[in-house]
A and B are shown apart, each in its own frame.
Chain A
């Protein structure tokens, strides 16, 4: 395999087992991510974005299981079942940040103490040294003066500040990959942009690769290098962000872009709703909602069709006959 990729996911399948039915949360998901690349994964709620990312370090719920697929991280095959190996990777190589930063921080410790703990746990440095290091990362995420913010408890800070503290915690041990799971969904528009700018800066300064999970397609225009659109546990279109935003090839991507609110335009919504992952339609999973549905869409799921270098889509409309 090519070694230029930091992360390579090959045909990952994750299932959630309930007593009388099984949910195919992630289905044949394949992804590549280069070092320093920013990838945005876009999709509606419940389409398996978070599940697929948590599968990388096997942090999925107890009733879920990665049933097949391979993950290469940093040119090394990751063994999903080797808890000890994964413990060495979580936090120090792959970090996550989540939607609600205030709930993500332990309410009874100050943000500084929590960042300090990251240094002590991962780098085994002394307490005083860790404290200095914690102040340093607080500066890095623009919580200045660091000495002041070090002593704040999460409930004393705003959502945006907590998210920055959370980012500080996530990058404390210099991970190679940061997975940001809707990091700005609970924040207002201005804060949202400052957080994304911060992530972009960290990407440039620290060479941090980022996977941004979001459902807000308008955010990522100048942010992501590549985009992957997910629907019903599958990636249905992926490619360079400019290309996807300007000339979407899948009807779903097209519809998503059409949903964006614009001045003087009536709001559009995609007809229907996300299919139930335990009872998926046959053929192409989008066909019940697709305006261009054809007969063969009902029968067989289309495979990836290459549009250009790095841009491919799962739709029969693009098939050249």
Chain B
């Protein structure tokens, strides 16, 4: 606990992330209005007591929309990274453990995936499929596992030469057991760090997609599409772009702080 307090980035990061999570979980209690409640009498109101972050072109309460948007953004980030960690860890562990031709094939696969400009790949897939939240989670996950795979492969390459792995072998553990209950748990430290940094990246990708109109579709709010709506009235309603932008910024920073802090903590 004391170590946690001394590790400022980790501490601040965890506080911020925890705050975001609480907001997302308790969104219905926190928000004052429904996120899709249109009120033609309060269009483009600046921040006031009634609407603390102001209202948009359709008179919807920005604060309520942002609170619900947190749910979308955070869940997309976590599930997309979950998918990428799952694929990356399994492929990386198999490549590192077996080596030889299997390793070569997986490495080539990673290199091929890294050749694509990811955002454009996602854009074209989303353009073909329907841009809903599940598709976006899966697609971001499927296009971001390469870093994890490389990381795990490198860890496994050195771990598998350690003596306790030989001991596991001589005591009769199968390859499956060695990989999944001995090698992967030992490689989880760096994976955790990169996964948390990955959440920040995934949130950013989701926001970019929604901003370009190929992400979460209105009226479901996400920080990205709130920003997209804001650009038409950028000159007259500053609050519409500043608050979502700032929120994205703080969220990314807080995940990065947790990731960096964790890296320091695990050393």
- Closest chain B CB from A121 CB (angstroms): 6
- Does A118 sit within 8 A of B, measured CB to CB? yes
Q: Tell me whether A104 and B164 are in contact (CB under 8 A).
A: yes
- Does A3 sit within 8 A of B, measured CB to CB? no
Q: Tell me whether A117 and B170 are in contact (CB under 8 A).
A: no
Which of B8-16, B36-44, B87-95, B179-187 contacts the other chain? B179-187
Contacting residues of chain A (109-164) with chain B, CB-CB under 8 angstroms: 109, 117-118, 121-122
Q: Tell me whether A105 and B172 are in contact (CB under 8 A).
A: no
Bound-state CA distance A88–B172 (Å) is 7
Q: Tell me whether B169 and A169 are in contact (CB under 8 A).
A: no
Bound-state CA distance A170–B169 (Å) is 12
- Which one, B162, B171, B185, contacts A103 given CB within 8 A? B162
Q: Tell me whether A95 and B170 are in contact (CB under 8 A).
A: yes
On chain B, the residues within 8 Å of A59 by CB distance are: 166, 169-170
On chain A, the residues within 8 Å of B171 by CB distance are: 90-91, 95-96, 118, 169-170
Bound-state CA distance A118–B168 (Å) is 9
Cβ contacts A72-98/B at 8 Å (1 or 0 each): 000000000000000111111001101
Q: Tell me whether B163 and A106 are in contact (CB under 8 A).
A: no
Looking at chain B's contact residues, is the secondary structure mostly helix, strand, loop, or mixed? helix
- Which one, B163, B166, B174, B186, contacts A87 given CB within 8 A? B174
What's the A-B contact tally at a CB cutoff of 8 Å? 55
Bound-state CA distance A117–B170 (Å) is 14
- Does B248 sit within 8 A of A, measured CB to CB? no
Interface size range of chain A in the complex: 20 to 34
On chain A, the residues within 8 Å of B166 by CB distance are: 59, 98, 104
On chain B, the residues within 8 Å of A169 by CB distance are: 171
- Does A184 sit within 8 A of B, measured CB to CB? no
On chain A, the residues within 8 Å of B164 by CB distance are: 103-107
Cβ contacts B169-199/A at 8 Å (1 or 0 each): 1111110010001100110000000000000
- Closest chain A CB from B190 CB (angstroms): 14
Q: Tell me whether B163 and A98 are in contact (CB under 8 A).
A: yes
CB-CB under 8 A for A121 and B163, given A106-B182, A108-B185, A108-B186: no
Cβ contacts A1-16/B at 8 Å (1 or 0 each): 0000000000000000
Bound-state CA distance A88–B174 (Å) is 10
Closest residue of chain A to B189, judged by CB?
Answer: A108
Cβ contacts B135-147/A at 8 Å (1 or 0 each): 0000000000000
On chain B, the residues within 8 Å of A122 by CB distance are: 172
Q: Tell me whether B172 and A89 are in contact (CB under 8 A).
A: yes
Closest residue of chain A to B173, judged by CB?
Answer: A121
- Does B167 sit within 8 A of A, measured CB to CB? yes
- Does A209 sit within 8 A of B, measured CB to CB? no
On chain A, the residues within 8 Å of B173 by CB distance are: 91, 121
Apart from the given pairs A91-B170, A106-B168, A169-B171, 14 other A-B contacts in the complex at a CB distance below 8 Å: A59-B166, A90-B170, A91-B171, A91-B173, A95-B170, A98-B163, A98-B166, A103-B162, A104-B166, A108-B185, A108-B186, A121-B173, A122-B172, A170-B171
Q: B residues near A, CB below 8 A?
A: 162-164, 166-174, 177, 181-182, 185-186
Q: A residues near B, CB below 8 A?
A: 54, 57, 59, 87-92, 95-96, 98, 100, 103-109, 117-118, 121-122, 166, 169-170, 173
Listed A/B pairs (23) with beta-carbon separation below 8 Å: A89-B172, A90-B170, A91-B172, A91-B173, A95-B170, A95-B171, A96-B167, A96-B171, A98-B166, A98-B167, A103-B163, A103-B164, A104-B163, A106-B168, A106-B186, A108-B185, A108-B186, A109-B185, A121-B172, A121-B173, A121-B177, A170-B171, A173-B172
